[in-house]
Amino acid sequence: MSEPKRLPIVLSLGLAQTLGWGSTYYLPAILANPIAEDLGISSGNVFGAFSLALVLSAVLGPMIGRRIDHRGGRPVLVASSVIFALGLVLLSQAIGPVTLWLAWLIIGVGMAMGLYESAFSTLAGIYGSNARNAITGITLIAGFASTVCWPITAGLESALGWRGACLVWASAHILLGLPLNRFMLPRLKKSRVIATDDTLQPPANGRLTMALLAFVFAVTWFTSTAMAAHLPRLLQETGLPLATAVLIAGLVGPAQVGARFLEYSLLQRFHPLLSARMASMTHPVGVVCLLAFNSPLAFISPLAVVFTVLHGAGNGILTIAKGTLPLAIFGPQDYGLRQGWLMMPARASQAFAPVVFAVLIDDFGIHALLLSAALGCLAFAALMFIRPVASAPAPTTAR
């Protein structure tokens, strides 16, 4: 059978992923304080519920990945649209901590089923080892999730309140996300991913490679989540006013997309290990620039821009790497299950990153970035130890 056309699938998944990320992962940054004030609880309580959702998505990841390996991704992504909508409706009706946490638990199930890992596994099921371009394509589109959805959420909250904003996003999942996942994705009789049993059987050096990849994804997602939660505040620590800090922080989205376009065009000819190694060092280099030359005040704003763009560019490519590196190293066999296991530590580190970094900023100010820079250097070192696993590639023509 002929390979399904890429453009409609990449566009539909890219738009659905933008909606999925913007209405869940990026929601607390705008709505945490309004929710906390309305319910009479602390914003930490709201972020705690969000962290629980991330932990639950990590636990469910391998099971969801195995399901996609066996049956393809369309049914899982369709169900995620419904679950997202259900969780957001319940969130809009929250009257206290119990209903708030229950709503985020449901959203966490949706996150396990409907974000990048499931989309990447779906593409591997459709295109096999040739999914790299398609993976990059959907991240090009969804890279604008925060840039687009933060202002939308803020506008909805201003006009309709936080409850109304949640209901609008829930409606969007039913009216937009569900049709995109249901009607634009092909129904595969057999996935190109070769699913074996429920236990991964990597080659001899594959376990070490899996451990190193899991470590890389965990530390880079820790930094990514910490910056997503605290970047404006960190930039304020350099002496910038809030408005300027928020404006500069908004450059993360365009920087991510610009780097992904570079990956899509120029870096495609190289093994994804090369781009991942380069990307792992952009955040540390940006931190050095910001901390080493953060005075006099006249130079703070340009250096803040340099740091933000470098961080965003590296984060953009590393997001692609979590989909392309396992595919390039191990091939498509058991791809979904492998993704689930690889991302468990990353989701756990995400859950704790905002709280840990908040404490570090309170104690050390801008020098809290020394931790994230050190983690970036460790990720680079781990990537330097990784070599493609010497195993026969799985066939890519099974249907």
Query: pLDDT (tens digit, 0 to 9) for every residue of the chain, 399 residues total?
Result: 456 678 888 999 999 999 999 999 888 878 888 999 999 998 888 888 988 898 898 889 888 988 888 888 889 999 999 999 999 999 999 999 999 999 999 999 999 999 988 888 888 888 887 888 888 888 888 878 877 888 898 889 999 999 999 999 999 999 999 999 988 887 765 555 555 555 555 544 578 888 999 999 999 999 998 888 788 878 888 888 877 887 888 788 888 888 888 877 777 777 888 889 999 999 999 999 888 865 554 455 788 899 999 999 999 889 888 888 888 888 878 888 888 888 888 888 888 888 788 888 888 888 999 999 999 999 999 999 987 654 434 433 333
Q: What is the pLDDT of residue 194?
A: 53
Residue 254 burial by CB count (10 A; 0-12/13-18/19+): exposed, middle or buried? middle
The answer to whether 341 touches 210, Cβ cutoff 8 Å, is yes
Q: What is the pLDDT of residue 391?
A: 43
Q: What is the pLDDT of residue 137?
A: 86
Neighbours of 258 (CB within 10 A): 17
Q: How far is CA 274 from the centre of its chain?
A: 20
Residue 174 burial by CB count (10 A; 0-12/13-18/19+): exposed, middle or buried? middle
Q: What is the pLDDT of residue 84?
A: 97
Q: What is the pLDDT of residue 393?
A: 42
pTM: 0.79
Phi, psi of 25 (to 5 degrees): -60, -40
How far is Cα 74 from Cα 16, in angstroms, rounded to an integer? Answer: 12
The answer to whether 308 touches 299, Cβ cutoff 8 Å, is no
How far is Cα 137 from Cα 125, in angstroms, rounded to an integer? Answer: 16
How far is Cα 179 from Cα 173, in angstroms, rounded to an integer? Answer: 9
Task: Please name each of the domains of the chain with its CATH number.
Answer: 6-183 (1.20.1250.20), 206-385 (1.20.1250.20)
Q: What is the pLDDT of residue 303?
A: 86
How far is Cα 289 from Cα 107, in angstroms, rounded to an integer? Answer: 38
Question: Could you identify the residue written with the tokens 């999942």?
Answer: 173
Q: What is the pLDDT of residue 398?
A: 34
Element containing residue 278 per DSSP (H, E): helix 272-280
